Amino acid sequence: MNFEKSMAIMPNEQYHTAKKISKFKSCAMRFVYLITFVALGYDVWSEIINPSETWGTYDGVVYSFWAGYALLMGLGIRYPLKMLPLLLLQLSYKSIWLLGIYLPLSLSGRLDEGVEGFLTPFLIAVPLDVIAIPWKYTYENYIKRLFWVK
């Protein structure tokens, strides 16, 4: 069976993914979506279903956001390019946290257990996002169009 015929029997998203980004990037994106869906989803939904403590307003908002985010990451397993903005969001908020929250607290010697608990997952996620994100596709479909670059 030739390539075009094999693509004809694939669902549209898989066909377009195969044509626009490499198989490695597609698999890497799906891996990040899956890990986030499972790990974050398990932690967040466990806490929502059986809270370990009484939440304040912001705690409820944060857990609700993460629960929705984890569910959407599940969609990324099936539709990696359509859910690419989630990877960009993840990369940006985790990078901002590392540089804007963790680094100043670390330099001033004011780290606590709560802050340190986020460090390892964030240090793992940022490089994975950098590797998984198809940067050429991102430039062509987001950055270039945003700034009307020819």
Phi, psi of 2 (to 5 degrees): -80, 170
Q: 125 near 97, Cβ under 8 Å?
A: no
Q: Model pTM?
A: 0.83
> What are the domain boundaries of the chain?
3-146
Please state, in angstroms and rounded to a whole number, the distance separating the CA atoms of residues 131 and 32: 10
Instruction: Give CA–CA dist 141/150, Å, rounded.
Output: 12
Which of 115, 11, 29, 131 has its CA nearest to residue 75? 29
Q: Which residues of the chain have pLDDT under 70?
A: 1-19, 149-150
At 17-36, the pLDDT tens digits run 556 899 999 999 999 999 99
